[in-house]
Structure 1
Amino acid sequence: MTDSFLYTSPSADISRPLVEQLTAEYHDRYGEYFGEPASAEMNRYPAERFAAPDGAFVLLLRGGTPIAGGAFMRYDDTTAEMKRIWTDVNHRRQGLARRILVELEEQAGRQGYSRIYLTTGFRQPEARDLYLSSGYAALFDVSADPEIYGALPFEKFLAGPPPGYVPALVTPPEGGWKAARQAQLAKHA
């Protein structure tokens, strides 16, 4: 079977199975750890954020069936923010997420971006490892317990960093992310 890329929308019917799998995976890994259900994260951005000219949503099809996907949206004038890179549960360990990542990086470059920014959750070590092995710089202390950060930020310059550039590392909140989030939720209750 032949694989092909299809640029579409996260709300398109063909995208639905992967989006539903990703939502279930977020729920299984995080539940309401972040103070809201996983579906809230999946609905945080309207589909239009992942449309040209500022964004993109791509599926990798095998025999017409989506087996992996991902997206980016505008972060700032020069930076695309990657979101929702995902592989169908029956097609893992084939390098498909890396293929999606490379395709999205190339598309971001075609759309005029020079930098990629992304975050992944602390309970997604396979995603962390993918980004580290794909040339992304961790904007956090990789030797620290990742739970203190909640979200693990990364960046990559598509043509190398500007001369003299030094990445700004994220400092976790005192007591860790979860304690800070619980205090924030209690304050607004």
Structure 2
Amino acid sequence: MDPVSTEHVAEIRRFNRYFTRRVGALDEHYLGQDRPLGEARLLFEIGEGVSLRELRTRLRLDAGYLSRMAKTLQSQGLVRVSVHPHDSRLRMVEPTRAGRVELKEQNRRADALAAGLLEGLTGPQRARLTEAMSTAQRLLRLAAITVDRVDGAAPVARACLDAYAADIDARFPEGFDKTDLVRPEEVSGAAGAFFVAYEESRAVGCGALRRLEPGVGEIRHVWVHPDARRLGLARRILTALETEAAARGFTVLRLDTHASLTEAQRMYRACGYTEIPPYVDHVYADHWFEKRLSGPAS
């Protein structure tokens, strides 16, 4: 990764200061209602009802802070907090009738604020702005995702492989047999490695590396959850696998892919992989690729 420049840091901080001021995030009466942004956002996230545990994970809030905000909304008659009927460990929070009325008004005012921000722009300028904001959101999501090495037998690794198998079983005309998945011992310890991508503690992708022969590794099962696609995450996972391969002294990486996975073929070619003759007899392989490693992947 390239080092982060001070100019880029300054630009992000400048944008944050401008935007938070422009949308009234610092106002104690957000959107002209009688509550700050934190409480207004919490009411929005509660929706039709959710557990406090899920809210804490989703919003990445301190448990005590979340509890205090929920109690404030409850004291104002906007939400009710109760114990889950089937799990006494979970506390549920749901809006009251008054809470739904306020949330509806909050959404109306938020829409009006957004429309007001766009009114001073032409149609093409609005399109450029919204496209830029969409790009910014995708890149910020990608920046927040971590790719970590886990044991090949870890529950999260097997869960990712199960999701991968279900995904490609629906895409391959001939279906997919899960016995083709790598075994834990093939992608653990000296034999190989398994990586999982996490977004806010949720697994959203994976990839496996296993040793084929001295100096040669094979990449298997690079997968991204549908909710996290088109972010560039598959390339991030591929980079992690290449870096691990270089660290293990591999000088060659190989992989195969199915004819229906055209987007995977494009990615591998774009990342420096060249098509080669078959190096293994694999029922799901239609294209075989290879990449020479000169050192740790950048």
Q: Give 1:17 shift.
A: 3.7
Q: Percent identity?
A: 27
The reply to whether residue 157 of structure 1 matches residue 295 of structure 2 is no
The reply to whether residue 46 of structure 1 matches residue 188 of structure 2 is no
Matched residue, 1:102? 239
Structure ranking higher in helix proportion: 2
Unpaired stretches in structure 1, ≥5 consecutive residues: 141-148, 161-189
Q: Deviations over 1:150-172 (max 9, x none)?
A: 42100000119xxxxxxxxxxxx
Please say if residues 153 and 185 of structure 2, whose CA atoms lie closer than 8 Å, have aligned partners that are also in contact.
Answer: no
| Structure 1 counterpart SS, 2:240 | helix
How many Å separate the matches in 2 of 1:110 and 1:31?
37
Give the residue type in structure 2 aligned to 1:153. W
Please say if residues 165 and 178 of structure 2, whose CA atoms lie closer than 8 Å, have aligned partners that are also in contact.
Answer: yes
Give the residue type in structure 2 aligned to 1:4. T
The reply to whether residue 28 of structure 1 matches residue 170 of structure 2 is yes
Please say if residues 217 and 250 of structure 2, whose CA atoms lie closer than 8 Å, have aligned partners that are also in contact.
Answer: yes
Q: Give 1:18 shift.
A: 2.2
Q: Deviations over 1:124-174 (max 9, x none)?
A: 00110110000001115xxxxxxxx942100000119xxxxxxxxxxxxxx
Matched residue, 2:155? 13
Greater mean deviation of Cα atoms: 9-18 or 90-99: 9-18
Please say if residues 3 and 63 of structure 1, whose CA atoms lie closer than 8 Å, have aligned partners that are also in contact.
Answer: yes
Q: Give 1:9 shift.
A: 3.1
Q: Deviations over 1:16-41 (max 9, x none)?
A: 442222111221122536xxx42232
Q: Give 1:64 shift.
A: 1.4
Matched residue, 1:63? 200
Matched residue, 2:220? 83
Identify if the C-alpha distance between structure 1 residues 31 and 38 changes in structure 2 by more than 3 Å, giving closer, same or farther: farther
How many Å separate the matches in 2 of 1:11 and 1:31?
29
How many Å separate the matches in 2 of 1:124 and 1:57?
21
How many Å separate the matches in 2 of 1:4 and 1:27?
27
Q: Deviations over 1:94-133 (max 9, x none)?
A: 0000000011001100011111000011110011011000
Give the residue type in structure 1 aligned to 2:287. L
Q: Deviations over 1:43-83 (max 9, x none)?
A: xx321100122311001111111111101101110111000
Q: Deviations over 1:162-189 (max 9, x none)?
A: xxxxxxxxxxxxxxxxxxxxxxxxxxxx
Please say if residues 15 and 66 of structure 1, whose CA atoms lie closer than 8 Å, have aligned partners that are also in contact.
Answer: no
How many Å separate the matches in 2 of 1:151 and 1:40?
19
Please say if residues 152 and 185 of structure 2, whose CA atoms lie closer than 8 Å, have aligned partners that are also in contact.
Answer: no
How many Å separate the matches in 1 of 2:246 and 2:285?
29
Q: Specify the structure having the higher radius of gyration (Cα).
A: 2
How many Å separate the matches in 1 of 2:171 and 2:257?
12
Please say if residues 30 and 38 of structure 1, whose CA atoms lie closer than 8 Å, have aligned partners that are also in contact.
Answer: no
| Structure 2 counterpart SS, 1:103 | helix
How many Å separate the matches in 1 of 2:185 and 2:194?
10
Backbone CA RMSD of aligned residues: 2.0
